[in-house]
């Protein structure tokens, strides 16, 4: 009697472990390679924007890690090249989220090619040169 119960438990456990392996294998196989975003480091300060890359590819997921290394609030937006109306931003991080020393992470995938720019539109910053032209191809 005791032997039977143990055996049944073992069979049950083996089935569960096998199932877990199968499920784990399935979920990691297809998606891992193309879903891992490419990390891009962006540094904001008075009054410039630096980025580890300025050329991007349509359809590639990016993880933007935006750090305010300056002494004032900054904001960050991806804008059409030369545009100053923030309603045209493809993606943006508000200045409340970027006090001095703050780091904000955003994931984004470009859906159109063209000339864009990273820009800060805190009053006076853009005019002082807080922009970085980027290209999406
Ligand atoms: Cu700024």
Q: How close is the Cα of 24 to the center of ligand 1, in Å?
A: 44
- 4 pLDDT tier (thresholds 50, 70, 90): low
Ligand 1 geometric centre to CA of 103 (Å): 14
Centre of ligand 1 from the C-alpha of residue 71, in Å: 10
How many A from CA of 20 to the centre of ligand 1? 49
Residue 65 predicted with pLDDT over 70: yes
Is 93 within 8 Å of 121 (Cβ atoms)?
Answer: no
pTM over 0.85: no
* Residue 3 pLDDT class (50, 70, 90 cuts): low
């Amino acid at each position: 009697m005791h032997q039977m119960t143990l055996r049944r438990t073992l069979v049950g456990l083996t089935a569960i472990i096998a199932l877990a392996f199968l499920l784990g294998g399935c979920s990691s196989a297809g998606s891992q390679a193309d879903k891992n975003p490419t990390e891009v480091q962006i540094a904001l300060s008075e009054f410039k924007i630096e980025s580890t890359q300025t050329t991007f590819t349509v359809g590639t997921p990016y993880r933007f890690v935006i750090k305010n290394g300056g002494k004032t609030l900054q904001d960050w937006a991806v804008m059409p090249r030369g545009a100053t109306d923030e309603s045209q931003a493809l993606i943006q991080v508000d200045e409340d989220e970027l006090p001095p020393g703050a780091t904000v992470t955003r994931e984004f995938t470009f859906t159109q090619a063209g000339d864009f720019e990273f820009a800060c539109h805190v009053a006076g910053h853009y005019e002082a040169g807080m922009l970085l032209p980027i290209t999406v191809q």
